[in-house]
Amino acid sequence: MAFSFNVVKKDSATRARLGRLVTTHGVVETPAFMAVGTQGSVKALSPRDLREIGCQMILANTYHLYLRPGVEVIRDLGGLHCFMGWEGPILTDSGGYQVFSLGAFRKISEDGVRFQSHLDGSTHLLTPERVIEIQEDLGSDITMVLDECIPYPATRDYVCLSTERTVRWGRRSLEARRRSGQALFAIVQGGMYSDLRESCVKGLTQLPYDGFAVGGLGVGEGETLLSEMAGFVAGILPEDRPRYLMGVGRPQDLISAVQSGYDLFDCVLPTRNARNGTLFTSRGKLSIKRAEFSRDPRPLDESCHCYCCQHFSRAYLRHLYLAGEILAAILHTLHNLYFYNHLMKRLREAIREEGDELRILNSEWTKEERSP
């Protein structure tokens, strides 16, 4: 099935929109949050757990899978869906972000990026063409172009040079495609310079990408700048293509970005926090290690319908966490991802219904930290 995206409904008061993204492996209702399965596994959950808690699409990482187990292994075993037993849509990150955050001795040239593996120090060259080839072998539903994720802060000169190269790499990525049935998203860079973001968008939108991601945000620039820049870029991206805000973020960031017109999100926050004992609830964040929960018979969130909240008390979860039991990571991840998926569902319903729900969600999450 060919890739398609349709805006089903637009909110009248904000730029939020309800969308329907069709991929070879199924439909994704947007706005949607993708669970992060970096190494071909969403940490601590099985594919059936993911389906149960409403995950529509997962994100896997080209850089990590390329280094281990190797793309040939996955290709020969029938592609990533088959390899990891996930039949739903998969988006693969290009690996650009990981090369810059994990790869040692990286050297960027017009050709691509040379780096050393964080696993064994071996040297690799990733070019825009090679990254497409790898993602075609993985067989993901949405592939991403190789980009440079620019650190913050960065000089205007560097951001300008880097962003122009990312645009050129995008063109090479499009030309390198050999397989059908996979979408290709470009990545908007440009640092914190609106005019460079704008020229990047102009460069990218001249070509037939299936969607546009916004990268280089959430890299230390702070909440205000993140929100402003994300809002600015969303406003100049085409209406008819999906918009993906990469690596963001907290519940309040998602609520805000949906109202700026974003459709797709991914972030390690719910899964990583889960393993660290930090849980998201409808009344704010909760740290399960706190002594106050040692005899608390209540579930993490009394209004939550996940398996964890339907069967286990805070006292038990605290015990599991302090005892180092793997089940703590499992139940906490299940809950946090359920929470994120449920939040996205509420956002979709809010857009569909045009009631007070968007305003309610806004006010619920205006304060970052709330004690449950």
For a copy of itself, the binding residues (CB under 8 A) are: 39-41, 43-48, 68-69, 73, 76-78, 83-85, 294-295, 297, 307, 311-313, 315-316, 318-320, 322-323, 325-327, 329-331
User: How far, in Å, CA of 25 to CA of 6, rounded?
Assistant: 17
DSSP state of 169: H
Of 11, 93, 141, 253, the active-site residue reads 93
- Measured from the CB atom, the residue of 126 and 334 that comes closer to a copy of itself is 334
**Nearest to residue 335, comparing CAs of 290, 368, 299, 371?**
299
The 8 Å CB, 24+ separation contacts for 163-170 are: 163/189, 163/190, 163/191, 163/196, 163/199, 163/200, 164/203, 165/108, 165/110, 166/200, 167/200, 167/203, 167/204, 168/110, 169/112, 169/128, 169/145, 170/128, 170/145, 170/203, 170/204, 170/207, 170/209
Of 141, 210, 253, 266, the active-site residue reads 266
State yes or no: is 195 an active-site residue: no
User: How far, in Å, CA of 338 to CA of 308, rounded?
Assistant: 10
- Measured from the CB atom, the residue of 2 and 73 that comes closer to a copy of itself is 73
What length does the chain have? 372
State yes or no: is 93 an active-site residue: yes
Radius of gyration, alpha carbons of the chain: 20
To the nearest whole angstrom, how small is the minimum distance from the Cβ of residue 27 to a copy of itself?
A: 22
Q: Tokens representing 365?
A: 């999450």
- Measured from the CB atom, the residue of 85 and 355 that comes closer to a copy of itself is 85
* Those residues with Cβ within 8 angstroms of residue 275's Cβ, 6 or more apart along the chain or in another chain: 43, 44, 329, 332, 333
DSSP 180-236: SS-EEEEEE--TT-HHHHHHHHHHHTTS--SEEEE-S-SSSS-HHHHHHHHHHHHHH
User: How far, in Å, CA of 175 to CA of 248, rounded?
Assistant: 29
CA 85 from centroid of its chain's CA atoms? 20
DSSP state of 125: E
Q: Are 88 and 68 in contact (CB under 8 A)?
A: no
To the nearest whole angstrom, how small is the minimum distance from the Cβ of residue 200 to a copy of itself?
A: 34
* Those residues with Cβ within 8 angstroms of residue 71's Cβ, 6 or more apart along the chain or in another chain: 65, 134, 137, 138
DSSP state of 140: -
To the nearest whole angstrom, how small is the minimum distance from the Cβ of residue 97 to a copy of itself?
A: 18
Active site residues: 93, 266
